[in-house]
Amino acid sequence: MKKALVIGGNGFIGSHLVDGLLQQEWDVTVLDIQERRFGPMPAAARFVQGDLSQSYLVRQALAGTDVVFHLAWATIHEVANRDPAADIHVNLIPSLHLLEACKEYDIHRFVFVSSGGTVYGLPQELPIAETHPQEPINAYGISKVTLEKYLHMFHHLHGLEYSILRPSVPYGPRQNPLGRQGAVAVFLYRVARGLPITIWGDGSVTRDYFYVSDLVDGLIMAAEHELNIHRIFNIGGSEEISLLRLLQLAEETVGRKAVIDYQPARKFDAPRIFLDTQRARQELNWQPKVSMREGLAQTWAWMSRTFDANE
């Protein structure tokens, strides 16, 4: 039985990854500073409560591990921009300590969730392939791509096997609709309650949204597949969707009209993101399975059950 350590395994993406690994009969340990927010953690998973700054807990969790999935990132785009030094302190430095520990414990593979929406910066061409220049325009993307470079260094110097996923914008159940990230969850929740939705700019900003189970498939494939020359893979949706189109789909899903609050565009938002996923399709045998309408319906069904019961 393969043993995984999922760092950040109680968050939105991490909790789905833990469930997916358990379904495939992995032995799973979760390292997270908080408990799972929406529903209990499966009894089969082991929970170590703490963060990467607690080196003794990290080493305890790494013992006997085959694959490390690193999903924990303590900042979002606008927060990282306000204090880039703090972003380095809370994200990059603990991650480097983690790589050092993985080297010591002879981890078989390190899977890192980077960012397909920020590491490339302003797109020079669409769709965006992994070979596109990496010129991030926010601190979040800079710290993500920096850890990518350190992974390459650790592989070259110490033989640490790794793979990197650069996801576009995943969505689905357990994404917090009260947070500042996650347009799909926020739109559904606020449309349903008649609350104003902030649109930064004119609503023409595009992303290739995709359902969280498709990201879980990519993560597990990145852990299991034999790697050749490529170790970095874009993961995203099959279509480019503007914010206004997403809002229209949310209205159709919920059955209500939205209240829109337009605000000036933000400089750190790339105007268009649409990732080229051919490498993942060809080398990992990955492809998105859940359509946008189906994913929205499943997310709305979960949200209706969860928040109607709690409010």
Counting Cβ atoms within 10 Å, is residue 111 exposed (0-12), middle (13-18) or buried (19+)?
Answer: buried
162: left (phi over 0), alpha (psi -120 to 50) or beta: beta
Give the span between the Cα atoms of 119 and 307, in whole angstroms.
34
Q: How far is CA 85 from CA 78, 103, 266, in A?
A: 13, 26, 21
Instruction: Identify the CA nearest to 210 among candidates 248, 173, 244, 239.
Output: 239
Helices 12-23, 212-224: axis angle to 10 degrees equals 60
8 A C-beta contact, residue 23 and residue 45: no
Please state, as a whole number, how many other Cβ atoms lie within 10 Å of the Cβ of residue 48: 16
Identify each DSSP E strand in the chain by its residue range: 3-7, 27-32, 46-49, 67-70, 109-113, 162-167, 169-171, 196-200, 206-207, 209-211, 232-235, 241-242, 259-263
Give the span between the Cα atoms of 102 and 58, in whole angstroms.
10
φ, ψ for residue 233, nearest 5 deg = -135, 130
> Is 209 an active-site residue?
no
Give the span between the Cα atoms of 219 and 203, in whole angstroms.
31
8 A C-beta contact, residue 300 and residue 217: no
Of 56, 105, 120, 140, which is the active-site residue?
Answer: 140
Length of the chain: 311
Counting Cβ atoms within 10 Å, is residue 178 exposed (0-12), middle (13-18) or buried (19+)?
Answer: exposed
Report, as residue numbers or ranges, the catalytic residues: 140
